[in-house]
Amino acid sequence: MGSGMLMLFSLSLDTGRKRVLGLTEGIHKLGSVRWELALCLLLAWIICYFCIWKGVKSTGKVGTEIVLLIHNPPCTHLTFLSQSLLPFHEVVYFTATFPYVMLVILLVRGVTLPGAAEGIVFYLKPDVSRLADPQVWMDAGTQILFSYAICQGCLTALGSYNKYTNNCYRDCIMLCFLNSATSFVAGFAIFSVLGFMAQEQGVPIAEVAESGPGLAFIAYPTAVTMMPVSQLWSCLFFLMLIFLGLDSQFVCVESMVTALIDMFPGVFRKKGRRELLILAIAVMCYLLGLLLVTEGGMYIFQLFDYYAASGTCLLFLSIFEVICVGWVYGADRFYDNIEDMIGYRPWPLMKICWLVFTPGLCLAVFLFSLIKYTPLKYNNSYVYPPWGYMLGWLMALSSMVCIPFYIVFILLRTKGSLKQVLRLWLLNALQLLLTICGEGWRVPAQFSV
């Protein structure tokens, strides 16, 4: 049985890398477009367009979606987002509950496999010595941003469609508990299967599944094939992945559309303009996505995932975002706004987090991510050429440079000399600091611009 399991696992690897991807020898050789994958990508964007082209308000609030984010396996992260995207309530209810059903099925099947106990023990037994490793804290901090969809614009854009009196404070607490609880339960389903596969192959559990998409497309399908009526369970499993991927796609596109419409209402808030905007985004994203479905597209995908969609970028954005909320807009003002919305004042510790704890922690983890940076290796073996790493950092900087560029833009647009503007900003920051300390100092009138 062990040799058969190893053969099945090797066959899954070979099928994924050669038959499906047609993987080339390196990023320098992209090869041709895999037309099967290109058609699947086209279908995904067509579905996405017709599901969100009428917007959120026209469909009404329909419940809770689950977005599956697989990053740095063997952990699987489930994030809960309140969404209002699909035009048919029944479809959304199905896509919201179906992943739970599959998770329970995989959990029951996983814990009944031989070797599952070792995998669960490996999952639950902590290695306290790893707490002294900065890399652990860096991975944990960046994963929090992914699992809760923080600093990606999704929560902000979709939250803008809520009623003004919506209890956002309660929603945040519920999201944290639901996300953590689901991730914890999902860990049992994952590590029970990994423990079984590790026992069959005689290797450590950590080496069973490769990092990245290998967990979802190699390790788990191998486990599903061991169930009775394996063809049925395989179809249901991949159908679940399709629904989760489409839901994530809906959220990202809807967030971008909402931001553009809010920034340029005079252009896009006209009849038919929203539909054209979504169509343009879908076409552009599809054309860019064709690079990822070439025979060497997986190398580009890993670059994008490691650099452009990395925790380093999100940490950089989170530092500026929390500073803008806590120090520029003002923690007291934001605190009062929440009280006006929900009818009571949140826990006072929240204000301290906005001002000190959160920006300090994000900055520390961000610096650790730079200090501990290691170049990407595809499948822990292929080393990218120097221009490949440059391409990765260019993708990372494409989002990070927007903040300093916009700061310079505002400085140039503000009336007065640069010296006057900087002096006013400095005095306003000092005023905010003294106000927090309980002083009643104000910026002198002669310094106003």
Q: Cα separation of 263 and 374, whole Å?
A: 38
Residue with tokens 């790493």: 389
Amino acid letter, 280: A
- Nearest to 159, CA basis, from 147, 146, 172: 172
Q: Is 147 annotated as a binding residue?
A: yes
- Nearest to 176, CA basis, from 93, 275, 98, 78: 78
Q: Cα separation of 24 and 28, whole Å?
A: 9
Q: Is 167 annotated as a binding residue?
A: no
Maximum Cα–Cα distance across the chain: 84
Q: Do 56 and 85 meet the contact criterion of CB atoms below 8 Å apart? A: yes
Q: Is 133 annotated as a binding residue?
A: no
Q: Cα separation of 433 and 353, whole Å?
A: 15
Q: Cα separation of 138 and 367, whole Å?
A: 9
Q: Do 312 and 369 meet the contact criterion of CB atoms below 8 Å apart? A: yes
Terminal-residue alpha carbon distance, the chain: 79
Q: Is 247 annotated as a binding residue?
A: yes
Q: Is 145 annotated as a binding residue?
A: no
- Nearest to 253, CA basis, from 154, 400, 342: 154
Cα R_g (the chain), whole angstroms: 24
Please, how many CA atoms are within 13 Å of residue 376, restricted to the half-sphere of its CB? 27
Non-local (6+) Cβ contacts of 203 within 8 A are none
Helical (H) or strand (E) element with 81:
strand 76-83
Amino acid letter, 36: E
Q: Cα separation of 154 and 158, whole Å?
A: 6
Annotated binding site for Na(+): 147, 179, 244, 247-248
User: Residue ranges for the binding site?
Assistant: 147, 179, 244, 247-248
